[in-house]
Amino acid sequence: MNFEPIPEHEALRDSVRSFFDRELQEPKIREMDRARRVPRDLWKRLAQLGWPGLTVPTEYGGSGGDVMTSAILCEEIARRFPSLANYWVITSMAARVLSESGTEEQKAEYLHKLAAGEFLMSFGMTEPGGGTDILGLKTRATLEGGEWVVRGQKLYTSLADDANAILVLCRTHPPEGAKRSRGLSLILTPVHQEAVKVRRLELMGQRAGCTCEVFLDEARAPADAVVGEVGRGWHTLLRTLNDERIICASMYVGITAAALDLTVQYAKDRTAFGRPIGAYQAIQHPLADTAIELEQIRLLTARAAWLHTNGRECSTEAAMAKLAASEAAIRATDRCMRVLGGFGLVEESPLERLFRDARLGPFSPISNEMVRNFIGERMGLPRSY
Ligand SMILES: Cc1cc2nc3c(=O)[nH]c(=O)nc-3n(C[C@H](O)[C@H](O)[C@H](O)COP(=O)(O)OP(=O)(O)OC[C@H]3O[C@@H](n4cnc5c(N)ncnc54)[C@H](O)[C@@H]3O)c2cc1C
């Protein structure tokens, strides 16, 4: 076992922190949260720093980063601006799907642009009928006159109103018997066409990242717009699930760390009855509990990332990391709120935003109930759904 920090990882952490200190400080972040937008100019600036291209292979203009590196970048972004981290997660997953399952033409067309911050792709899986029972989706696509015609509706498609294209999971062929996962395809559908209508849904947390309802009323996509094998879209997605869970876990590690840092400082500075409030056990104990949980989720996430990066099986560990980190972030922000007293509720306090931003974790990208079901199954218990 080696817990020695890796110099490249530490350099990446330092560079992210110094970017925020120099160019994206708290007042600007608060402004974007209130405006509910990550401006495209900011995304272009981040492209100069190589962030959107971190997981794009080097031959397509990125730096070919592994999951360990991705988790570090995501954690550091989330410490300051979780909505931006979520934006980054979606882009990094787009890079992974395209580079692992795209055709040579798709890679050449999209990956350079994605690394340059000029192409944004959303994921359209969830529908109004449900997100957990995703295989019951209703969106259909058929090949008509040499192109795909997509009919249906998606819900909670993050970044769709900023995106150039949505990777739409839809049924192109009938299921094979009871196997609903068969016959689904991933079609890269351009957003900017009359037949695609996008409606923003305003969120309580992760506001600047935004999520949308998408109406696909005979939307068109070229015949070669399928990413991965036709009829095997679900299996294409499964290849990226562990990456996504580990990177999401790192986002909640970042939120927990940020909440703890700022609250410990507050407990040192704020006085009551002539002493810093941090001198009282009632304040110290929840902070100590949070510090322990932070260490636990950091280790779980790091181990899952290490397993993934070294080509080992990691689906249980990735699921555990996502669940533990997302729930720890909720507990941490709640405890820290109490320590901050009234200031925790004021918008000037970053904790107010962290508290809201942490709320997404227990059900995205998969609900923690389903994660528990999965872990139960991995222990050899019967499938519960
Ligand atoms: C801000 C935001 C961004 C999102 N971004 C995207 C995106 O970009 N693309 C995308 O496709 N989706 C996205 N989602 C959707 C997200 O993945 C779903 O919300 C999630 O999968 C849960 O689906 P649901 O909300 O439809 O809940 P439901 O499926 O209706 O579930 C409701 C509750 O029932 C529980 N439940 C259901 N079935 C079982 C079972 N068998 N056992 C135990 N419990 C069960 C669930 O865990 C949950 O607690 C986003 C959601 C939000 C809020």
**Are the folds of 7-119 and 123-231 the same?**
no
**Pairing relationship of beta strands 140-144 and 147-158 according to DSSP bridges:** antiparallel
Tokens of 229: 């094998």
- 365 preceded by cis ω (within 30°)? yes
- Condensed to tens digits (0 to 9), the pLDDT of residues 306-350 reads 999 999 999 999 999 999 999 999 999 999 999 999 999 999 999
- pLDDT score for 210: 86
User: Is the confidence at residue 180, as pLDDT, over 90?
Assistant: yes
Q: Please give the pLDDT value at position 170.
A: 98
pLDDT of 177 reads 85
Arch. (CATH architecture) of 123-231: Beta Barrel (2.40)
Supply the pLDDT for residue 193.
97
Site residues for ligand 1, CB cut-off 6 Å: 122-126, 130-132, 156-158, 203, 206, 211, 360, 363-367, 369-370, 373, 385
Residue 363's pLDDT is 93
The CA-to-CA distance between both ends of the chain, in Å, stands at 38
Average pLDDT over residues 63-78: 97
CATH architecture of 7-119: Orthogonal Bundle (1.10)
Q: What is the pLDDT of residue 43?
A: 95
Mutate to test the pocket of ligand 1, among 156, 162, 383 (most ligand atoms within 8 A of CB): 156
The arithmetic mean of pLDDT across residues 353-381, rounded, is 97
Residue with token string 């007042």:
27
Query: Hey, whose CA ends up nearest to atom 29 of ligand 1?
Result: 132
Contact 296, 290 (CB under 8 A): no
- State the average pLDDT for the chain: 97
The structural domains of the chain, with segments of one domain joined by +, span 7-119, 123-231, 240-378
Mutate to test the pocket of ligand 1, among 364, 375, 383 (most ligand atoms within 8 A of CB): 364
pLDDT at 250: 98
CATH topology for 240-378 is Butyryl-CoA Dehydrogenase, subunit A; domain 3 (1.20.140)
Is this structure's pTM higher than 0.85? yes
